[in-house]
Structure 1
Amino acid sequence: MILFFGTRPGKTEIKRLPSVRCPYCNKVGTLTVSIASNYFHLFWIKLFKISTSKIAECSHCKRVYYNNEFTLEMENAMGMD
């Protein structure tokens, strides 16, 4: 019997944070968060999520924030959706 299993990325979810201020340039409404998840699959069927990574980017100053750099304001805005 042959089993096809492994990991593969899911669809990337993009969320805008309209009421959050960029900590670097202090502009409001310029942050966009990309959320990407990796899944374990068996016969190309997703079984469970292995990991999730979040990256925020400011469209004004182009500063990138990784998950460990998120402010409390960013975390709260993502949790509201």
Structure 2
Amino acid sequence: MILFFGTRPGKKETKVLTRATCPYCNQTGTLTVVAQPNYAHLFWIPLFTINNIRYAECSHCKKVYYKEDFTPEMEQALLK
């Protein structure tokens, strides 16, 4: 019997942080947060989430901030 087991990325979710300021270029409203889960699957059916990748990118200076680099202002804007 052959089992197909592996991992696969899920659907990307994006959210623009209109009230957050980029710490690098000081532009307001240019940060976009992207969240993408990774699933373990069996026969191409997702079973459970392994991890969730989250990062923010500034559309002005193109700097990327990973979850551990988020400022308190970014976290607050993400909750709204």
Structure 2 unaligned segments of length 5 or more: list them: none
**Matched residue, 1:67:** 67
Match of 1:18 in 2: 18
Q: Give the Cα separation in 1 of the matches to 2:47 and 2:57.
A: 30
Q: Distance in 1 between matches of 2:69 and 2:44?
A: 34
State the alpha-carbon separation in 2 of the partners of residues 48 and 66 from structure 1.
Answer: 23
Write the deviation string for residues 25-74 of structure 1: whole angstroms up to 9, x where unpaired: 11110001111110011121111110111111111121111111111111
- Mind listing any 5+ residue stretches in structure 1 that lack a counterpart? none
What is the identity, as a one-letter code, of the residue corresponding to 1:37? P
Q: Distance in 2 between matches of 1:78 and 1:47?
A: 27
Give the stretch that moved more between structures: 29-38 or 1-10: 1-10
Residue 46 of structure 1 corresponds to 46
**TM-score, normalised by the number of residues in structure 1:** 0.87
Structure 2 distance, partners of 1:78, 1:44, is 32
Q: TM-score, normalised by structure 2?
A: 0.88
RMSD (CA atoms): 1.2
